[in-house]
Amino acid sequence: MDQKDKLQICAQLLLLLAAVTIQDVEFMYKETLLLNCNGTDGTNGTNATWWKDSISVIKLNYDGVEFETLANGSLQIKNAIRDIAGVYTCQCDCGNKTATIYAAAKVVPFETSMNLEQGDMLNITCRVLGYPLPSITWLKDGIELHLDSRYQLSEFSGFPNASLAIKSVDFGDAGVYTCQASSSRYNISSSETIIIRVKDKLAPLWPLLGIVVEVVVLSVIIFVFEKKGNRISNTEEDDSKESTTKEKKSKGVRHRGNANNPKS
């Protein structure tokens, strides 16, 4: 390879590098964003097609968002939402070009409370938006949680540690759990919290047990009073019989006295 060939190769590499440039765009909610697809030499990206995460923008489906490739090869995005943040690739006659839409981290709100019974499984999924991909931290009552035999942290939608699970909850697992997301590009973070309550697994039976106890107590009280009433009744009956017997004996004595004393 002579010097001329080497110069041609270097020129081609320079042209390629001119076409493959980085464009940074900051996300703006519900605004129109424009990603250019032309080289640094000013050439337009004719016959341009745009891709995001290896998926054609034609197939992207974000609520209310409109993607349109313009005549000069630029990608116009209307009604932008945070979900669209990421790296886009333009494939055109001038080569490939990447454009990045940056957005600060945002934790999507989830349910604010959850009631579990002892032994149930706890599973909280923290959906996060933003680019670069935010890092996720879990806290319980303000103290950071780490992966161990009790707490299981796993990936969700490409975000490490976005899912928190406890196989079998106990009373000590009750508390306030926080999912916190932060990005190295921004000095702000986003978080959402959920209150976890843990009840005794026999809790649903306590009202029934209370009713059973009340019935038993009432039955004992009724039994005692009935027994006491029967005892009083028997005593009164015995007293009545004894009184009748005495009265009969008294009459018998008077009759015998009259028979022995006719004058009386």
213-to-115, 158, 209, 216, 227 alpha-carbon distances in Å: 27, 55, 6, 5, 21
Among 34-43, 72-81, 113-122, 163-172, the range scoring the smallest mean pLDDT is 34-43
Does residue 123 surpass a pLDDT of 70? Answer: yes
Report how far apart the first and last C-alpha atoms of the chain are (Å, whole number).
171
**Res. 17 pLDDT band, cuts 50 70 90:** very low
Q: What is the average pLDDT across 28-51?
A: 80
Is residue 181 scored above 70 in pLDDT? yes
For domain 108-199, the question of CATH label 2.60.40.10 is answered with: yes
> Is this prediction's pTM over 0.75?
no
Better-predicted residue by pLDDT, 202 or 125: 125
19-103 and 108-199: identical CATH topology: yes
Q: How many CB atoms lie within 10 A of CB 128?
A: 25
Averaged confidence pLDDT in the chain: 82
Higher pLDDT, 72 or 19: 72
Residues 6+ apart with CB under 8 A from 14: none
pLDDT digits (tens, 9 = 90+) for 136-147: 999 999 999 988
Q: Which fold is adopted by the domain 19-103?
A: Immunoglobulin-like (2.60.40)
Average pLDDT over residues 225-249: 65
Q: Answer whether residue 41 shows pLDDT above 80.
A: no
48-101 pLDDT tens trace: 899 998 999 999 999 999 999 998 889 999 999 999 999 999 998 777 888 999
Q: Is 156 a residue whose pLDDT tops 80?
A: yes
pLDDT tens-digit readout, 7-16:
454 444 444 4
Q: Where are the domains of the chain?
A: 19-103, 108-199
